[in-house]
A and B are shown apart, each in its own frame.
Chain A
Amino acid sequence: MIDFTLSEEHRELRGSVERFAREVVAPVIGDLYERGEFPYEIVAQMGKMGLFGLPFPEEYGGMGGDYFALCLALEELARVDSSVAITLEAGVSLGAMPIYRFGSPEQRRRWLPALCSGERLAAFGLTEPGGGSDVPGGMRTTARLEDGHWVINGSKSFITNSGTDITAFTTVTALTGEKEISTILVPNGTPGFTVGRKYSKVGWSASDTRELSLHDVRVPEENLVGERGRGYAQFLRILDEGRIAIAALSVGLAQGCVDECLRYVREREAFGRAIGEYQAIQFKVADMEVRAHTARLAYYAAAARMLAGEPFKKEAAIAKLVASNAAMDNARDATQIFGGYGFMNEYAVGRFYRDAKILEVGEGTSEVQRMLIARSLGLSSH
């Protein structure tokens, strides 16, 4: 009845990505991170491996896998680096997924093959300067129909993958009427659509995050994604799934901390012994492993429900909450174990430390996860 044994295919995929991360990502990511450069070559190779097409059917150039396969790939990538992992997560579950789930057959045919192959990326433009947790309350972006075109005005904040050389479009959520939210596909290069400069970020430095502004942007009426007025329901669905993916990514970071520490504590000596022989250090590493393990179980459980077609909102929120805490706690402990070296950018744990914080914020803050969990328990707010 309870079975989290991976299928052979999932196990092999995980092995394949694990090796890719170790052989291709690990040797170069430190430099890219330090220079804040987007990892184009790594992304191209991930595309060739089919990672961007993992959960999509073969008819659109996908791999015919499932969302759990994507999660496994994210976990293995994040064990080595989170910028690369979030580029995949945002590209697939935020960028391509809305088109696959809600797009017209024409939109799917037109966009999905290039997205699945990793040749192009797409972004998800939901958050605005006025607020990310309370999306409807903070939304100022508007779109109105004018002779067969949507005319869009507004701005978006913190949009991942929106300004790379290979970004195809952003799906923009906008008010299309009184309390009516819709999603509209806006290709890069559309007049009036300005992709701002890269933010200077605390972490995820090799990933692309930008502010977008839309000034009388005109796109054809058929760029509406799904039904008019369904924007709210659509992004809730996308974010629920995305939380499982972010949980998987968080587990990867938490596990990466354990990996790094296991190596280091055997080599580093203090007071005449390898520091790994001190129980204080051993307990820390044990606690880190516990956090990674329990968080992994939480995201497996949420993914299992999602794939079985059962409601999974609460489980996804729990997984995201537990896993982002695990990532944050493990990053703190790992840098502590590394001592002064933990504070140096050339060590992976320093990067993990900087990358962990956003996991408690992006795709719903920890407070938002608690709100969702409380609501699912029947506790209503005001």
Chain B
Amino acid sequence: MNIVVCVKQVPDTESPRKLKSDDNTLDRAAADGVINELDEYAIEEALLLKEAHGGEVTVLTMGPDKATDSIRKALAMGADKAVHLVDDALAGSDALGTSYAIQQVLGRTGFDLVILGAESTDARTGMLAAMLAERLGVPQLSLANKVEIDGSSITVQRITDYGYDKVEASLPAVVSVVEKINEPRYPSFKGIMAAKKKPVEKLGVADAGIDADKVGLAGAATEVVDFADAPPREKGQIVTDEGDGGAKIAEFLASKKFV
């Protein structure tokens, strides 16, 4: 099975994150880059599927040169090879442009299954999987917390507010995963050393057959018009129970329209 995992490098959520004032895009140079948290679960799931069914796991990353660190980490966890789409023309791409660019690369690598994290911690649009499936014309199985493959059919448990749905489709398909799905492994030293020897193909926009007009800040269909710092968190309200604690909590919830 040919599994492709989309891995994004994002600014570490532990460090302060900023937008750049000149073009309202994320200042990626200012923060330490790490693998998007949910993508680690996507990588782990790909590795588990490979261990169970055989095949090959390819990491696909679109991002600046610095994203090499995240690619190496994914390879150290056990992925077999990587494709790194890196080009200045891609900077500032929105979800629509990104899904187009990734579609083009997937056209070259081929795939039976594409696995993504359900959202990234930086933009948090959570749209990429859906857009990608639509562009590729294959089923999308979203928010999976369990994946099973049987021959050419795939079944996932999709988490919902009320429990989970069981969703079935046939391969090839796109799956987005949530963090309940597994426990990502820590790279071993053997994995770290092996990662150095694994192939990483670097592609520019032209190599991947991407129309440069459809990507990057200029090609984006969305625009960040303005931004402001998040307001500091307000102090919580403490309810002292003087026999009427329950009523006071109900009042509070009602005032916030929770009940």
How many residues of B are in contact with the other chain, CB < 8 A? 13
Residues in chain A near residue B72, CB distance under 8 A = 12
Residues in chain B near residue A58, CB distance under 8 A = 190
Q: Of A9, A12, A48, which is within 8 A of B73 by CB? A: A12
What is the 8 Å Cβ interface bit string for chain B, positions 183-197, against chain A (1 contact, 0 not)? 001111111110010
- Chain B nearest Cβ from A50, distance in angstroms: 4
Decide if B82 is an interface residue (CB 8 Å cutoff). Answer: no
Interface residues on chain A, size class = 10 to 19
- Chain A nearest Cβ from B230, distance in angstroms: 21
Decide if B57 is an interface residue (CB 8 Å cutoff). Answer: no
Q: Of B76, B185, B189, B196, which is within 8 A of A64 by CB? A: B189
A63 to B193, CA, bound (A): 9
A20 to B183, CA, bound (A): 12
Q: In the complex, are the beta carbons of B189 and A63 less than 8 A apart?
A: yes
Decide if A375 is an interface residue (CB 8 Å cutoff). Answer: no
A16 to B190, CA, bound (A): 12
Q: In the complex, are the beta carbons of B190 and A12 less than 8 A apart?
A: no
Q: In the complex, are the beta carbons of A12 and B187 less than 8 A apart?
A: yes
A12-B72, A12-B76 known; A50 vs B196 contact (CB < 8 Å): no
A63 to B190, CA, bound (A): 5
Residues in chain B near residue A64, CB distance under 8 A = 189-190, 193
- Chain B nearest Cβ from A27, distance in angstroms: 14
What is the 8 Å Cβ interface bit string for chain B, positions 156-192, against chain A (1 contact, 0 not)? 0000000000000000000000000000011111111
Decide if A131 is an interface residue (CB 8 Å cutoff). Answer: no
Q: In the complex, are the beta carbons of B188 and A50 less than 8 A apart?
A: yes
User: DSSP majority for the B interface?
Assistant: helix
Decide if A229 is an interface residue (CB 8 Å cutoff). Answer: no
CB interface residues, A 63-85, toward B, < 8 Å? 63-65, 69
Q: In the complex, are the beta carbons of A50 and B189 less than 8 A apart?
A: yes
User: DSSP majority for the A interface?
Assistant: helix
Which of the listed residues A8, A12, A20, A63 has the most CB atoms from chain B within 10 Å of its own CB? A12
What is the 8 Å Cβ interface bit string for chain B, positions 45-84, against chain A (1 contact, 0 not)? 0000000000000000000000000001100100000000
Residues in chain A near residue B186, CB distance under 8 A = 16-17, 19-20, 45, 49
Q: Of A9, A17, A49, which is within 8 A of B193 by CB? A: A9
Q: In the complex, are the beta carbons of B190 and A13 less than 8 A apart?
A: no
Q: In the complex, are the beta carbons of A12 and B192 less than 8 A apart?
A: yes
Decide if A185 is an interface residue (CB 8 Å cutoff). Answer: no
A54 to B190, CA, bound (A): 8
- Chain B nearest Cβ from A13, distance in angstroms: 5
A296 to B222, CA, bound (A): 51
A49 to B192, CA, bound (A): 11
Which of the listed residues A8, A16, A19, A54 has the most CB atoms from chain B within 10 Å of its own CB? A16
Q: Of A8, A19, A63, which is within 8 A of B188 by CB? A: A63
A64 to B196, CA, bound (A): 14
Q: Chain A: which residue is nearest B191 at the CB level? A: A50
Residues in chain A near residue B185, CB distance under 8 A = 48-49
A12-B72, A12-B73, A12-B76 known; A49 vs B188 contact (CB < 8 Å): yes
Residues in chain B near residue A9, CB distance under 8 A = 189, 192-193, 196
Residues in chain A near residue B196, CB distance under 8 A = 8-9
What is the 8 Å Cβ interface bit string for chain A, positions 1-44, against chain B (1 contact, 0 not)? 00000001100110011011000000000000000000000000
Known: A50-B190, A63-B193. 11 other contacts (CB 8 A): A12-B72, A12-B187, A13-B189, A13-B192, A16-B186, A17-B186, A49-B187, A58-B190, A63-B188, A65-B190, A65-B193
Would you list 24 pairs from A and B whose C-beta atoms are within 8 A, ordered by A residue?
A8-B196, A9-B192, A9-B196, A12-B76, A12-B192, A13-B192, A16-B192, A17-B186, A19-B186, A45-B186, A48-B185, A49-B185, A49-B187, A50-B190, A50-B191, A54-B189, A63-B188, A63-B190, A64-B190, A64-B193, A65-B189, A65-B190, A65-B193, A69-B189
